[in-house]
A and B are shown apart, each in its own frame.
Chain A
Amino acid sequence: MSGKPKIIIKDLNLHFGKQHVLRNVTANIPEKQITVILGPSGCGKTTLLKTMNRLTDLYPNVKLDGSIHIGNDDILHTKKDITEIRRHMGLLSQRPYPLPMNIFNNVAYGLRISGRKSKKYLKPRVKHYLEMANLWEEVKDRLHDSASSLSIGQQQRLCLARGLSVDPDIILADEPTSALDPLSSEVIENKFVELKSQYTIVMVTHSLQQARRIADYVIFMYLGEIIEQGPAKEFFNTPKQDLTKKYIKGLFN
């Protein structure tokens, strides 16, 4: 394996009602690297990502078995408060969902709900995270404008800043660039490469090129199963499974 595992997923099975969406998923996600989950659409990538911070709790008729260990906790069975666990993970979704408030408050939100409310503390923090997300220069004069007045690319970077503000050690991202223009996509990609020295990043994508560019570790899924996983170099240069070979050659979608 490559590097110390940060998230250990074991025998994970998930059903949406009668539909078996994740089948015996077992994977070790390495710490401080970029893990890319690849696969054709509908194969369960988003669902797998959402199990990692238990957003699957929000769906009715979900049945989950198996375990996901992060640190010492099995987050699927822990007695710890799930909100506490989620605070250690940032999430970027397919399209950005800023909160219905101004730019400053979007970044300050996570800090405020964890009890850090003084303006004096918040101001430099907000600036810091906006800088980390390469957004500060563009918004420093309009921090009190509504977040929805930003472009989609800027909104996604705002969501990154917001996610970083709670000081997570894991960043989960579900096709974070699929709704963005090439330039904003590049900013996000570069940012991820920069951030991986401090964070464990798990990113879903269906773009092979993107995976080739930034992945350290690849998990390839098909119809709810992991077909193959391994360090990116091995995965792309010497794939073992026929399905993987076909997928890498671009033979299906």
Chain B
Amino acid sequence: MKKSKLRNAEELFFRGVMIISSSVIGLALFLILWSIIKRGLPALSWDMLTQTPKGGFYFGKEGGIANAIVGSLYLASGATLLAMILGIPVSLYMNVNLHKRKKLVNSIRFLLDVMWGIPSIVYGAFGFTFMIYFGMHSSLLAGILTVTLFIIPIMIRSIDEVLMSVPKGLMEASYSLGSTQSETSYKVFLRQCISGVTTAVLLSFGRAIGDAASVLFTTGYTDHMPTSLTQPTATLPLAIFFQMSSPIAEVKERAYASALILTVLILFISIIARIISTRYQKHKIKI
């Protein structure tokens, strides 16, 4: 009797903790979105989306942040693409070719996890030192390379995590049909994990487009539309940062509008990625 009372209390306690922590997270998310929408929406205008900053933009005059939107899209797409091109083969190699080398693969995983944990400002600083060494100026290209470096552990490890769940029987089925290792990788494993790959791409893109610290020194900032890989390029996180640090109230509001644009952009890309992944997921073998 006593015991069951204790168990009930325990159950109640953990359920309480769960409910409280979920509500805190939910509330925090809601408040963030609410403040962005509440303060950003009134300041949002067509000009913000389509104009580059004119002379007095940062003092509250006309203009927009089209250059930062385009710059951010270039930067994040370029870095995500590069990270995919490097990351997909590496994660497949870890799970198919190095399948028997558990210890080696686990060390690689550990290293990547450490890299994942390094703050982006460190990548920024690293990229910056590198640029100085080669006499490069801050540019879209330097930014793309730095951000690629910074999202590649995210890309590899999140794809790796889904590849790890491919059943051994599927691997054996593939080899027993006479597949080579690369056929097993690209025709079987990759297809089985297509939704996981989409998630990984999405996660990486989100990190790439939202990060300010890694692009601060490497990509630089300008008021012009990006036209070349070798020119400095504006990005949304920095646009938000600069507007937010302005003492002028109007400009501050525009920072919220810019944050809203960034949020909607990420939301939009998430939805597209989900649609793509469900289209391909239907062939996944359920275990």
List residues of A whose CB falls within 8 A of some B CB. Answer: 50, 53, 55, 58-60, 83-84, 86-87, 89-91, 93-95, 97-102, 109-110, 113-114, 146-148, 159, 162-163, 166, 172
Task: Give the CA-CA distance A114 to B180 in the complex, in Å.
Answer: 11
Q: How many A-B residue pairs have CB under 8 A?
A: 88
Closest B residue to A59 by beta carbon equals B100
Does B188 sit at the interface, judged by CB under 8 A?
Answer: yes
Number of interface residues of B (CB under 8 A): 28
On chain A, the residues within 8 Å of B101 by CB distance are 60
The binding surface of chain A is classed by DSSP as mixed
Q: How far is the CA of A53 from the CA of B173 in the complex (A)?
A: 11
Distance in Å: Cβ of A78 to nearest Cβ of chain B: 15
- Asked if A109 meets B283 with Cβ closer than 8 Å, knowing A58-B99, A58-B171, A101-B191, the reply is no
Are A97 and B178 touching (Cβ within 8 A)? no
Whether the Cβ atoms of B285 and A86 lie closer than 8 Å is no
Q: Which residue of chain A has its CB nearest to the CB of B193?
A: A100
Query: Of A99, A102, A166, which contacts B174 at CB under 8 A?
Result: A99
Inter-subunit contact A148/B177 (CB<8 Å): no
Q: Are A55 and B191 in contact (CB under 8 A)?
A: no
Bound: A159/B174 CA distance, A: 11
> In the complex, what residues of B have CB within 8 A of residue A114's CB?
178
Q: Measured between alpha carbons, how far is A89 from B99 in the docked complex, in Å?
A: 23
Q: A93-B169, A159-B173 are in contact. Are A166 and B178 (CB under 8 A)?
A: yes
Contacts of B102 in A (CB 8 A): 60
Which residues of A have CB within 8 Å of B191?
99-101
> Closest approach, in angstroms, between the C-beta of B283 and any C-beta of chain A?
5
- Nearest B residue (CB) for A112: B187
Give the docked Cα–Cα distance between A162 and B135 (Å).
58
Minimum CB–CB distance for B205 against chain A, Å: 24
Contact A58 to B172, CB < 8 A, known contacts A83-B180, A110-B177: yes
Q: Are A166 and B177 in contact (CB under 8 A)?
A: yes
19 interchain pairs, CB-CB under 8 A: A55-B172, A55-B176, A60-B100, A86-B176, A90-B176, A97-B172, A99-B173, A99-B174, A99-B187, A100-B170, A101-B191, A101-B283, A110-B178, A114-B178, A147-B283, A148-B282, A148-B284, A163-B176, A163-B177
Q: Could you tell me if B177 and A162 are in contact, using CB atoms closer than 8 angstroms?
A: yes
Who on chain A is nearest to B180 by CB?
Answer: A83
Q: How far is the CA of A113 from the CA of B170 in the complex (A)?
A: 17
Is B183 engaged at the interface, CB distance under 8 Å to the other chain? yes
Q: Indicate if B95 sits at the interface (CB-CB under 8 A).
A: no
New contact pairs (5) apart from A90-B176, A148-B286, CB-CB < 8 Å: A58-B171, A97-B173, A98-B173, A99-B173, A101-B283
Roughly how many angstroms separate A45 CA and B67 CA in the complex, as a whole number? Answer: 66
Is B282 within 8 A of A146, CB to CB?
yes
Say yes or no: A97 contacts B177, CB within 8 Å.
Answer: no
User: Whole-angstrom distance from the CB of A25 to the nearest CB of chain B?
Assistant: 21
Residues of B within 8 A of A58 (CB): 99-100, 168, 171-172, 175
Does chain A have a CB within 8 A of B179? yes
Interface hub of B101, B173, B179 (most chain A Cβ within 10 A): B173
A234 to chain B, nearest CB (A): 32
The verdict on B167 contacting chain A, using a C-beta distance below 8 Å, is: yes
B181-214 near A? 1/0 per residue, CB < 8 Å: 0010001100110000000000000000000000
Question: Is B187 in contact with A109, judged by CB distance below 8 angstroms?
Answer: yes
Q: How distant is A4 from chain B, measured CB to nearest CB, in Å? A: 24
Chain B residues contacting A84 (CB-CB under 8 Å) are 178
Q: Which chain B residues (50-101) contact chain A, with CB distance < 8 Å? A: 99-101
CA distance A147 to B285 in the complex (A): 8
Shortest B67–chain A CB gap in Å is 43
